[in-house]
């Protein structure tokens, strides 16, 4: 496919060509892109200006909200700026200067956002770390980044990594968000709480009231704002260097089409350590939205009913879990409720497909959809707080089936696409142009083209400055003419909407020489009500096979209905009738695939794939290399017994 013929762009008209900022390694600057055209006169240029402008323009009494001891508490816009100022000056009092690195290891909480803001005020580069990352990975990130300060949530979080990080000589201070977290023996350089750090900052502000303004004026758009280490599905983490201009341009160029306003209420769910939620947080504040921090993934449902959000950012796996839970509750209510849900969902999907295709909706379908909404979908809305108008999905490909189900239920899910290396958004849909199955069109000022093999390449003001301490890895992800290679395979439709088909590195080839993209096959299989998770395998084999984690509620109900005798889930997995059911489900859902793509064998896995188990990234993407290693024996037995017609279980 010709690259030039497949280029799609959304840039400002008649913009002159300029060179990329000098912060990019000169050897990589082989082309230029048009500069951004400001959207309004006081457009922020740095993340510090994003925070200060948000407080000035919106001045909310309840900008950030968090739950403590069962009660919701609010932080005002003015309090955010005051506390961020104290943190910035507290870091300065510790000797941390512009360009130095500090790390943040914590679950989502106001202190995370305040520390981020304080770092940006001081020109300090912050390095987020997932709280679920293994201690050796935490050590690697702290060591590679050269972080001088570690902000950490509480004592338990510190004790989990203490042994691994104790020899890091450049780590001078540990700052605990929890007041009970610290004591003098924590590290050689001592430790302090965030309140103690802020006290130092206030004292410095009293002595030098002009210092904060001086620090903020020194921060330039091309300065590094953050180094975000990719969790990665393969290999060691790489530190993505993002400048203020990367983050701010992406914030401004993609948020307007989503229709955010200061009347919106958002429940923040995804980890702020991930660029998706962090970039979204900047959007929330920029548009004056009221932000609530979810207590945990387990309490999302409760929190939604309490705060009644209008907007949420999620990953596809969460939508799958929501719908799976809805199906489980319907099944528990008996055959009539399950049948009613199935009917309503099919009606909703048919209505949604016509809406997306902009084809007429017949009067009978309108009436059926109205009835389905009244007796089924209204309950979904009530469970989500009753005001949800928009879900944003990113981080991985979302099955079309899920997109149509939620749209048909009156809860649209708008998809976006991007990577940590692109700050993150490359393309995004909108409520007005919500093409299910696509990730929308390239956002303003971002260009996209397809390489000859279908790989998506992009350039624009959102593209990273490179990988920290890894010049060779940086060179490998740029083309000779300066476009960033995403590693994703995609295609454009006739209207310029981008569809992601798979990860380039995840494509595998059978022994017969046929290439298979696993994600589309996995999405088909996951549409079975008996399937919770699935991973396709088969690189270098005669045919593809699937490792399946069953939907236990559905499978147990089936076993009771069919009088299948099994005392445990492990026995249920091994039962011949269950294995036959699963193979029939896979055959049914893969019937439209080419012969070489069809899954010939399945292996059932008893335990769910998790972040803690190492099989999923913090954004719930599959770590295929880890699964190949962890279940190597299962996979080998599956193929070894294939010719005898046996099926495998774990």
Please choose, from the candidates 209, 261, 477, 292, the residue with its C-alpha nearest in 3D space to the C-alpha of residue 390.
Answer: 261
Q: Would you say 114 and 84 are in contact if contact means Cβ atoms under 8 Å apart?
A: yes
Residue 302 makes CB contacts below 8 A (sequence gap 6+) with: 295
Q: Give me the pLDDT at residue 32, please.
A: 47
Q: Give me the pLDDT at residue 320, please.
A: 86
- Using CA atoms, how far apart are residues 346 and 127, in angstroms rounded to an integer? 45
The three-class DSSP label of residue 587 is helix
The three-class DSSP label of residue 565 is coil
Q: Give me the pLDDT at residue 512, please.
A: 81
Please choose, from the candidates 253, 303, 307, the residue with its C-alpha nearest in 3D space to the C-alpha of residue 282.
Answer: 253
Beta strand residue intervals within 62-148, DSSP E: 64-68, 71-75, 101-105, 125-129
Q: Give me the pLDDT at residue 11, please.
A: 43
Count CB atoms within 10 A of the CB of residue 273.
Answer: 25
Please choose, from the candidates 28, 2, 141, the residue with its C-alpha nearest in 3D space to the C-alpha of residue 485.
Answer: 28
Mean pLDDT by 10 residues, the chain (650 residues): 43 32 34 64 94 97 97 98 98 98 97 98 97 91 97 95 94 91 54 96 98 98 96 73 97 86 96 95 97 94 96 90 87 90 97 95 97 97 95 86 95 94 96 93 95 95 96 95 94 93 83 85 91 92 93 90 88 90 94 90 92 83 88 89 54
Q: Which fold has domain 76-219?
A: Rossmann fold (3.40.50)
Report residue 241 as tokens: 């260097």
Backbone angles phi and psi of 131, in degrees to 5: -65, -15
Record the pTM: 0.84
The superfamily (CATH) of domain 507-649 is: ANL, C-terminal domain (3.30.300.30)
Q: Would you say 164 and 136 are in contact if contact means Cβ atoms under 8 Å apart?
A: yes
What percent helix, strand, coil does the chain show, rounded to 5?
40, 20, 40
Query: Strand 531-537 and strand 545-550: pairing?
Result: antiparallel
Report residue 91 as tokens: 């870091």
Q: Give me the pLDDT at residue 33, please.
A: 56
- Using CA atoms, how far apart are residues 201 and 642, in angstroms rounded to an integer? 67
Report residue 301 as tokens: 């449902």
Vertex 511: Cα angle to 510 and 512 (nearest 5): 85
Please name every residue paired with 579 in a beta bridge, in sequence order, or none if there are none: none
Please choose, from the candidates 399, 393, 400, the residue with its C-alpha nearest in 3D space to the C-alpha of residue 356.
Answer: 400
- Using CA atoms, how far apart are residues 512 and 626, in angstroms rounded to an integer? 25
Where in the chain are the domains? Answer: 76-219, 507-649
- Using CA atoms, how far apart are residues 554 and 529, in angstroms rounded to an integer? 7
- The CA-atom distances, in angstroms, between 119 and each of 86, 151, 538, 547 are 10, 11, 47, 44
Please name every residue paired with 491 in a beta bridge, in sequence order, or none if there are none: 499
């Amino acid at each position: 496919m010709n690259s030039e013929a497949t280029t799609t762009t959304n840039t400002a008209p008649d913009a002159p060509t300029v060179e990329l900022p000098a912060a990019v390694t000169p050897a990589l600057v082989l082309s230029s892109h048009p500069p951004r055209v400001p959207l309004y006169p006081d457009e922020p240029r740095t993340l510090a200006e994003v925070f200060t402008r948000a407080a000035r323009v919106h001045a909310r009494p309840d900008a950030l909200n968090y739950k403590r001891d069962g009660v919701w508490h609010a932080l005002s816009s003015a309090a955010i700026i005051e506390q961020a100022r104290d943190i910035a000056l507290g870091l300065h009092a510790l000797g941390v200067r512009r360009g130095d690195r500090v790390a943040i290891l914590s679950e989502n909480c106001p202190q995370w956002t305040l520390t981020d803001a304080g770092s940006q005020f001081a020109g300090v580069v912050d390095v987020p770390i997932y709280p679920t990352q293994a201690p050796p990975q935490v050590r690697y990130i702290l060591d590679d980044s050269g972080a001088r300060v570690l902000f950490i949530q509480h004592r338990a979080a510190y004790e989990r990594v203490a042994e691994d990080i104790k020899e890091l000589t450049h780590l001078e201070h540990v700052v605990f968000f929890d007041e009970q977290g610290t004591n003098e023996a924590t590290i050689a350089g001592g430790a302090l709480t965030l309140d103690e750090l802020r006290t130092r900052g206030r004292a410095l502000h009293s002595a030098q009231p002009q210092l904060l303004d001086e620090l903020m004026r020194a921060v330039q758009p091309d300065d590094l704002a953050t180094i975000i280490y990719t969790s990665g599905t393969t290999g060691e983490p790489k530190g993505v260097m993002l400048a203020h201009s990367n983050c701010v341009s992406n914030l401004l160029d993609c948020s307007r089409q989503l229709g955010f306003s200061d009347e919106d209420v958002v429940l923040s769910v995804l980890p702020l350590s991930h660029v998706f939620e962090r970039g979204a947080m900047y959007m929330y504040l920029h548009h004056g939205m009221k932000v609530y921090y979810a207590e945990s993934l387990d309490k999302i449902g409760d929190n939604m009913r309490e705060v009644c959000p209008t907007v949420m950012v999620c990953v596809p796996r969460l939508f799958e879990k929501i719908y799976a839970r809805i199906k489980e509750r319907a099944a528990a209510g008996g055959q009539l409720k399950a049948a009613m849900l199935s009917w309503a969902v099919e009606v909703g999907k048919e209505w949604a497909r016509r809406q997306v295709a902009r084809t007429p909706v017949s009067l009978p379908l309108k009436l059926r959809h109205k009835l389905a909404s009244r007796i089924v979908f209204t309950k979904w809305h009530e469970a989500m707080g009753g005001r949800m108008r928009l879900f944003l999905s990113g981080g991985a490909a979302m099955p079309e089936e899920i997109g149509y189900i939620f749209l048909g239920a009156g809860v649209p899910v708008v998809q976006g696409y991007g990577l940590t290396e692109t700050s993150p958004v490359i393309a995004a849909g909108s409520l007005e142009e919500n093409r299910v199955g696509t990730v929308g069109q390239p956002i303003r000022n971002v260009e996209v083209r397809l390489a000859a093999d279908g790989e998506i390449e992009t350039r624009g003001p959102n593209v990273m400055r490179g990988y920290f301490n890894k010049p060779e890895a940086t060179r490998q992800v740029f083309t000779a003419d300066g476009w960033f290679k995403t590693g994703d395979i995609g295609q454009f439709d006739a209207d310029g909407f981008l569809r992601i088909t798979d990860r380039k590195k995840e494509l595998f080839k059978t022994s017969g020489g046929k290439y298979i993209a696993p994600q589309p096959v996995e999405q088909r299989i996951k549409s079975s009500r008996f399937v919770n998770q699935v991973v396709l395998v088969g690189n270098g084999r005669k045919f593809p096979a699937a490792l399946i984690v069953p939907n236990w509620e559905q499978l147990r109900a089936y076993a009771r209905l069919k009088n299948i005798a099994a005392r445990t889930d492990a026995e249920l997995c091994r039962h011949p009738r269950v294995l036959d059911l699963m193979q029939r489900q896979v055959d049914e859902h893969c019937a439209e695939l080419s012969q070489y793509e069809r899954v010939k064998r399945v292996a059932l896995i008893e335990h769910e794939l998790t972040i803690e188990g190492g099989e999923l990234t913090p954004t719930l993407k599959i770590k295929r290399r880890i699964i190949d290693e962890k279940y190597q024996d299962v996979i080998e037995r599956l193929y070894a017994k294939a010719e005898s017609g046996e099926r495998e279980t774990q």
